Structure 1
Amino acid sequence: MHTPNNPQYPQQGASFQAVQEDEIDLKALLFNYLKYWPILGICMFAGILIAFLVNRYSTPVYKVESSVIVVDDKPTLGADLFEAGGLLQGKSNVENEIGILKSYTLAEETLSELNLNVLYFSDGFINQQQMYGNVPVLIEVDWRHPQLVGGMFRIEVLDNEKFSLSIEDDGFQVYNPADPFYKSKLTQDPFIKSIQYFGEEIKGDNYKIKVQNISALAGEKLLFQLKDSPSLALQYKNNISINPINKQASILTLGLETPVRRLGEDYLNKLMEMYLARELKEKNRAAENTILFIEEQLSGITDSLTYFENRLERYRSENRIFNLSQEGSQIFERLQELEKEKSQSEISLKYYQTLQTYLSNDQLDDLVAPSIIGVTDPLLNALVINLSELQAERIRLTANFSEQTPAVREVRSKIQNTKKALQENVNSAIRNTNNMLFELNNRIRTIEREINTLPETERRLLGIQRQFTINENIYIYLLQKRAEAEITRASNMPKNSILDNARALQNPIAPKKTLNLLIGLILGLILPIGVITVRDFLNTKIEDPKELENQLKVPLIGVIGRSTGDDGIPVLNNPRSSVTEAFRSLRADLSYLAVNKQKTCILFTSSISGEGKTFISINMASVFSLMGKKTVLVGLDLRKPKIAEDFRMINDKGMSTCLSTDMPWQSVVKPSGYENLDVILSGPIPPNPAELLLQDKFAVIMDEIKEAYDIVILDCPPVGLVSETKELFNYADVSFYVFRQDYSQKGNIQILNNLVEKGGVKKVYGILNDVHIDTGYGYGYGYGYGYGYGGNSYGYHDDVHVPWWKRALKRK
């Protein structure tokens, strides 16, 4: 018996009770779920079955891997000076190469070499397998024309010449080559199913393709899908993974997940090939710019050299003079050295001026390395090389990110700083070169004065030969530099290299079969438990006797099961039933609740109508009558009387008759038809039931009834609906408050608690009626009979066999 926290009722040790209740709650929670074991089992089986089907019919995905070696750049001469000054910031070569390998531009160049814009699929029963390489038909696409991309086409081969073309999946977008990065939605159906011929052009407003038969046979079916290059490049760019093998290493591992192993291997191999080709192109760009610069200078020198060569030959022939005198030769040699030095300085000045022009016009892609021209300034050489690399990095980043991205802004800031330093260095070099030329011109003019002392014929010959020699030296110098640049271009090799070619792993990485089965099992367990938990949380009706017992401030004295038939008096008509045993047990408990009382008045009430207080009142009166106790059942529910129906009586007179007239109560007593049991019905429904029960005459009648009978059972109206019941508690020796499983609201518990705490009602106990739902733990009273109660207004009906799945899905 539950002991409430009330001075009327004795208490056990608080700590022991708390521990015991915690343990019972944990067990009750466990058993509450275990009672749904068939549903849990079915859900877990369904989860495993779904996971098995996913494993069975999912397209396997393979991991393809390759690796490259990244060689760190050696610092150029003078670069360490700038890094120490903070002008040239250090960079991570590995991170840069990762960025290049993951760039959109490199992915697009790779795809243009592989021609992967058409995807072919075999027509499977459940899923579609992608085909690659040996395909039965070839789709030729004119990408200069708008095309339908994204959706799926179906081809069914009719014979060697014809095929049927239709739409399989209508998820198309329109790719326009005039605006390749933005696709528009398709507003109309592309075309209906049609018969086409192999090799003939299929053209519409948004498509232009040809289908060539390679090895397709009649009746063969396949699907194909068109992918535009920008979308495809973006897809591969996002799917590829590039990581160093560890933080200290400069070896990069490239990974790609794909359902077609050979396709992944071809893509990674081609990607590495294009990566090395790009690096070589970047290296050759400086040599190509140098060759172009030299050839521009040679085009002017060649004409001057030819002119002075012809003029020298004519002068020698006309004046019959071929060699200079000893004095003239000495002067010419001195002058030739100065002119050679002057010509090299002029070439350097032209380079500086060209470099200055490029910087002013932001032609950073056309920069020529000064070391190739012959300028040996290490400072200038380091600045030009660093600026070229920064420009290449900016181009790579802007191909994938916007101008406002922090990485792009950082590179742009570095370019501005390096460009400013280079401009200052070039301006200084131009000033120094002009000073050198000024000094050389002064020395040349000094020698020219010595030339004036020579004979006129020799003097003129020396002047012509001098011009010829100057152009010849420049021409030879430029030819030498061009040859060096060409040799440099021919000998260039990528500094990075392929370590491992692409290779697919033997086993697929997806689907993860064991993990999927485990997830299916867990979800099959968690989902129904979650549903049960939410349902129980949202349930506002009383189901669990233990929960009722814990929340009541009074003892829960009894649990009555559900009756098996339509009979409302199982105690009299079915004395061997388990429900009858429950009432006998309740009768036995009353000997402890009303000690040393030869005559007892027992009251039954509830919160609302329909909770079974009349059913319990009738059967409690019956169970006492079977003991030989002279018992009377008094119907005090003057608003909604029910007792007459169960005893098949006419409610023509009763307590309302006595209270409203002078008729004595003995005149309204009716025999029940059973020994030792009389019934006083409530009588006709009066207009003022509360006032009738509250008059002094009712108290007199009750005293007389108690004297006349051993047991008085009061069937009172619901205390939660009417007010007079609170006064009726005073007439009872023991009061019972009836709750009904899966019918009474949990809020009704507080009504009884308030009666005890605030209303001062004493000697009141709880009864749970119509117990038919197994809460999985037991009730602690031994009444878990599983019989039925319900039906009419109080709900009586036959006990029928309810399948377990209905009991689990529940209710009523």
Structure 2
Amino acid sequence: MMQKEDEIDLKVLLFNYLQYWPLILAFMFAGLVSAFLFNRYATNIFKVESSILVEDDKPSLGTDLFESAGFGLQGKNNIENEIGILKSFSLAEETISELNLNVQYYNEGFITTNQIYDKLPIIVSVDWKQPQWVGGMFKIEVLDENTFELQIENDEFNIYNPSDPYYKSKLEDPSLKKSVYSFGEKIEEENLSIKINSIFANPGEKFQFKLTDTPTLALKYKEELSVAPINKQASILNLNLETPVRRLGEDYINKLMEMYLKRELDEKNRASESTIRFIENQLLGISDSLETSENKLQQYRSENNVFNLSQEGSVIFERLQELDKQRGETEVSLKYYQTLNSYLENNQGGDLVAPSIIGVTDPLLNSLVEALAELQAEQIRLKSNFSDQAPSVRENATRIANTKKQLQENVNLALNNTRNVLADLNNRIRMIQADINALPKTERDLIGIQRKFTINENIYVYLLEKKAEAEITKASNMPKNTILDFAKAGQIPVAPKRSLNLLIGLILGLIVPIGFITIKDFLNTKIEDPKELENQIKVPLIGMVGRNNSDDALPVLNNPRSSVTESFRSLRADMTYLSQQKENLTILFTSSISSEGKTFVSINMASVYALMGKKTILIGLDLRKPKIAEDFGLMNDKGMSTCLSSDTPWQSVIKSSGHPDFDVILSGPIPPNPAELLLQEKFTNIVNEIKEAYDVIIFDCPPVGLVSETKELFGLADISFFVFRQGYSMKGNTQILNNLVEKGGVSKIYGILNDVHIDKGYGYGYGYGYGYGYGNNSYGYHEEVTPLPWWKRALRRKN
């Protein structure tokens, strides 16, 4: 049984929405049309994609010695850092500057404007060294080959100042001194200086353009660019950008990747340039000494006619020459170690010179210097994108400090070893000098001069070799990261999503009216649903009366085959079960407020009894607002108020309804004290006399929710009916009926729903006497009155 109730509720809900099917279909159609128009005129957005391979550095010899010691060099090729660099504001700014994208051009369409990038009809030159108007839109109309008209299309301008590029001020009321200019003419206003040149603009054509400063563009592209690895294990980064102009997107991403690799290459070249500068500084000092020693050697040989050494002198010189060469190289190494030590102790900036370039072959030292150089370069890149307190910057700073500490220890050890080697070489040279002293003076002097020349020459040649090696290294430097795929735009736009938009339009077209109907029903305070009414009242809902579509207030008498008449017959049949074994029947009709149809129901209920031959009388007890007289076309000159306020017998105020078994006692002239009249014992006596004379008595009482005397009348009736009107009676009025039962002690009272015309899925009564076969789908059993036009029904006064 409970399951059946739930099914009925779903049916009611469905019928409630289906009665508005034209509105729902109209909204769904409007949603589809709106989505179609949006797809038709929306700007197509294309996705531009490319990819970069981020190479991991091969570990240098000896790196594992200090890496395992916890100095943490393994994180220097973090993919997240590379993503941060590619999405950095500074890299976007460099890219925008290279592409010169600060002026955007648009074709003016009928509904929308489209950005143009290739084959520009005009070129706008901007002097970005001075303040400019940015953000707003200019409109240009070509008048002829030499002139054009310039207007302000959108006045949302800001002032860009190159001295403070990241902060702009709003331009109030922008205006131009004149509107017509010549191509190539300089257009100057306060904080504006541009020049417009024609490429192939034709007379009558219209274009729009706007100026955008580099920081604003860089921030826009930085936010729009998406960079992500293709999967968690790969070191391949996928770059994509969504843009309405495919060629612009391709150019931007390609230039961005180019600037990214150039920045990496510049960092690598910086180390080679530092090495070259170090060697050049050494060459400056040694070249002067070489030239001086060479001049002295030539002068001594010419003055003393000595050109070659003796055999003994040659042997001694060769030994001395070899030791001097070793000492020279050792001194260069010592100077490098001292320079490196000073760099570390003073915490200097700048680039390091690789030890291998100077001839130092210590693998650990080489790997440490190389690691420190890369960590410092990484720190520069990180600081250009993140603050000093960022985790990646702080982590990299810790690695630099650990590497410097390890390198400092290694340099101190190398300094001590180099000094010991140099001291040993000096001792050996001094020992050979004792042999030189045994030679003749002329040969001794020649050896000394030639020795100095040879030392300087060897060092000079050695430095030249190292400089050449450094230059070759610089020339052979390549970025470790490589471009896998250059930017390519898709052929199919990613937005608008046409199928999805049509579906959304259809769904919104369905949701909006359903939501409106739901809210309307939720906020509706009128009784519409018979099932809801039945659940709210504490008494049975005994029947329903359909809407009377004619002006005739007596459909039972005048149109006995109508569906409304049949609803009263059904209600009369129910009386048999409500008042068993009662030959005489007194029925009372009331409501909560006026205009709910109690008089209409009373008249036609009396009529249906009269049709079956019952002697019936209708008594109008609404002494304040009588209506029965006008429905029967009678004069309300006498009635119940006449009997109660005078000695007039009730028999004398009876009027005929026009039917032989149907009499009427009108309410009569409106008295000053209607409540007191009805509460007299005289009224009770009259009613008792009438019961003896008639089979059926119908009381048309005033609304119990507005007057008090009706409560006293319930005791005179065998059956009482509380009339509600669909779409008119307030839901809160059900409490009046409930109070009559619970607090007033009224028994044998039932509910009737009048003027049923809103189908809630119960077929107008589903078991309440106005249902299958008797409603709108009458299947030819009844003669229905053609409904009046809506404006007549609106003017017709319902009782």
User: Cα distance, 1:220 vs. partner?
Assistant: 2.0
Aligned pair partner of 2:718 in 733, 756, 774: 733
Aligned pair partner of 2:39 in 42, 55, 70: 55
Match of 1:810 in 2: none
Match of 2:662 in 1: 677
User: Cα distance, 1:124 vs. partner?
Assistant: 1.2
The reply on whether 1:68 has 2:52 as its aligned counterpart is yes
Match of 2:780 in 1: none
User: Cα distance, 1:633 vs. partner?
Assistant: 2.4
Task: Tell me, in whole angstroms, the C-alpha distance in 2 between the residues paired with 1:357 and 1:230.
Answer: 40
Task: Tell me, in whole angstroms, the C-alpha distance in 2 between the residues paired with 1:255 and 1:440.
Answer: 63
The reply on whether 1:215 has 2:203 as its aligned counterpart is no
Task: Give 1:416-431 correspondences, 5 Å limit.
Answer: 416-431=401-416
Partner SS for 1:590: helix
The reply on whether 1:370 has 2:355 as its aligned counterpart is yes
- Asked if structure 2 preserves the Cα contact closer than 8 Å seen for 1:69 and 1:251, the reply is yes
Which amino acid is 2:732 matched to?
G
Which amino acid is 1:738 matched to?
V
User: Cα distance, 1:194 vs. partner?
Assistant: 0.8
Task: Tell me, in whole angstroms, the C-alpha distance in 2 between the residues paired with 1:445 and 1:701.
Answer: 159
The reply on whether 1:86 has 2:70 as its aligned counterpart is yes
Match of 1:348 in 2: 333
Which amino acid is 2:573 matched to?
A
Match of 2:797 in 1: none
Which amino acid is 1:705 matched to?
I
Match of 1:256 in 2: 241
Match of 2:770 in 1: 782
Match of 1:22 in 2: 6
Moved more, 777-786 or 253-262: 777-786
Aligned pair partner of 2:788 in 800, 804, 807: 800
CA deviations 1:641-667 (Å, max 9, x no partner) are 433443455556554555566665455
Match of 2:540 in 1: 555
Match of 2:132 in 1: 147
- Asked if structure 1 preserves the Cα contact closer than 8 Å seen for 2:157 and 2:174, the reply is no
Task: Give 1:97-246 correspondences, 5 Å limit.
Answer: 97-191=82-176, 194-246=179-231
CA deviations 1:152-176 (Å, max 9, x no partner) are 2222111121111112222322222
The reply on whether 1:274 has 2:262 as its aligned counterpart is no
Match of 1:792 in 2: none
Change (3 A) 1:279 1:645: same
User: Cα distance, 1:484 vs. partner?
Assistant: 0.5
The reply on whether 1:506 has 2:494 as its aligned counterpart is no
Task: Give 1:294-305 correspondences, 5 Å limit.
Answer: 294-305=279-290
Aligned pair partner of 2:566 in 581, 603, 607: 581
User: Cα distance, 1:671 vs. partner?
Assistant: 4.4
Moved more, 438-447 or 620-629: 438-447
Change (3 A) 1:661 1:450: farther
Change (3 A) 1:194 1:777: farther
CA deviations 1:536-575 (Å, max 9, x no partner) are 1121211122322343332222222222344433334444
CA deviations 1:346-366 (Å, max 9, x no partner) are 333333343344456665442
Match of 1:710 in 2: 695
Task: Tell me, in whole angstroms, the C-alpha distance in 2 between the residues paired with 1:524 and 1:465.
Answer: 102
Aligned pair partner of 1:598 in 572, 578, 583: 583
The reply on whether 1:490 has 2:479 as its aligned counterpart is no
Aligned pair partner of 2:274 in 284, 289, 301: 289
Match of 1:742 in 2: 727
Partner SS for 2:487: strand
Change (3 A) 1:372 1:113: same
Aligned pair partner of 1:762 in 729, 733, 747: 747
Moved more, 486-495 or 108-117: 108-117
Gapped runs of 5+ residues in structure 2?
778-784, 795-799
Moved more, 61-70 or 114-123: 61-70
User: Cα distance, 1:768 vs. partner?
Assistant: 0.9
- Asked if structure 1 preserves the Cα contact closer than 8 Å seen for 2:128 and 2:162, the reply is yes
Which amino acid is 1:68 matched to?
I
What TM-score do the two structures reach when normalised by structure 2? 0.89
Aligned pair partner of 1:546 in 518, 523, 531: 531
- Asked if structure 1 preserves the Cα contact closer than 8 Å seen for 2:570 and 2:770, the reply is no
What TM-score do the two structures reach when normalised by structure 1? 0.87
Match of 1:470 in 2: 455
Partner SS for 1:747: helix
Which amino acid is 1:109 matched to?
E
The reply on whether 1:39 has 2:20 as its aligned counterpart is no
CA deviations 1:566-591 (Å, max 9, x no partner) are 44333344444432332222222212
Task: Tell me, in whole angstroms, the C-alpha distance in 1 between the residues paired with 2:22 and 2:178.
Answer: 51
- Asked if structure 2 preserves the Cα contact closer than 8 Å seen for 1:146 and 1:176, the reply is yes
Task: Tell me, in whole angstroms, the C-alpha distance in 1 between the residues paired with 2:416 and 2:590.
Answer: 115
Aligned pair partner of 2:383 in 398, 401, 404: 398
**What is the Cα-based RMSD across aligned positions, in Å?**
3.2
- Asked if structure 1 preserves the Cα contact closer than 8 Å seen for 2:638 and 2:666, the reply is yes
- Asked if structure 2 preserves the Cα contact closer than 8 Å seen for 1:561 and 1:786, the reply is no
CA deviations 1:601-637 (Å, max 9, x no partner) are 1111222233222222222223223333222223333
Moved more, 257-266 or 665-674: 665-674
Match of 1:12 in 2: none
User: Cα distance, 1:216 vs. partner?
Assistant: 1.5
Change (3 A) 1:421 1:675: farther
Task: Tell me, in whole angstroms, the C-alpha distance in 2 between the residues paired with 1:290 and 1:190.
Answer: 58
User: Cα distance, 1:21 vs. partner?
Assistant: 1.6
Which amino acid is 2:53 matched to?
I
Partner SS for 1:366: coil
Match of 1:388 in 2: 373
Which amino acid is 2:65 matched to?
L
Task: Tell me, in whole angstroms, the C-alpha distance in 2 between the residues paired with 1:749 and 1:436.
Answer: 114
User: Cα distance, 1:437 vs. partner?
Assistant: 4.3
Task: Tell me, in whole angstroms, the C-alpha distance in 2 between the residues paired with 1:602 and 1:187.
Answer: 82
Change (3 A) 1:444 1:540: farther
Task: Tell me, in whole angstroms, the C-alpha distance in 2 between the residues paired with 1:358 and 1:400.
Answer: 26
Moved more, 693-702 or 583-592: 693-702
Which amino acid is 2:357 matched to?
I
Q: Sequence identity, in percent? A: 68
CA deviations 1:47-94 (Å, max 9, x no partner) are 111121122222222223333333322111222233322212423554
Change (3 A) 1:800 1:670: closer
Match of 1:5 in 2: none
User: Cα distance, 1:428 vs. partner?
Assistant: 4.5
Which amino acid is 1:40 matched to?
I
Moved more, 94-103 or 646-655: 646-655
CA deviations 1:506-544 (Å, max 9, x no partner) are 322222222222222222112211111111112121112
Moved more, 75-84 or 323-332: 323-332
Tell me the matched-pair count: 780
Change (3 A) 1:722 1:424: farther
Moved more, 777-786 or 515-524: 777-786
Change (3 A) 1:766 1:421: farther
Gapped runs of 5+ residues in structure 1?
1-15, 788-796, 808-812
Which amino acid is 2:85 matched to?
I
Which amino acid is 1:209 matched to?
I
Task: Tell me, in whole angstroms, the C-alpha distance in 2 between the residues paired with 1:610 and 1:351.
Answer: 111
- Asked if structure 1 preserves the Cα contact closer than 8 Å seen for 2:85 and 2:385, the reply is no
Moved more, 399-408 or 659-668: 659-668
Partner SS for 2:538: coil
User: Cα distance, 1:482 vs. partner?
Assistant: 0.5
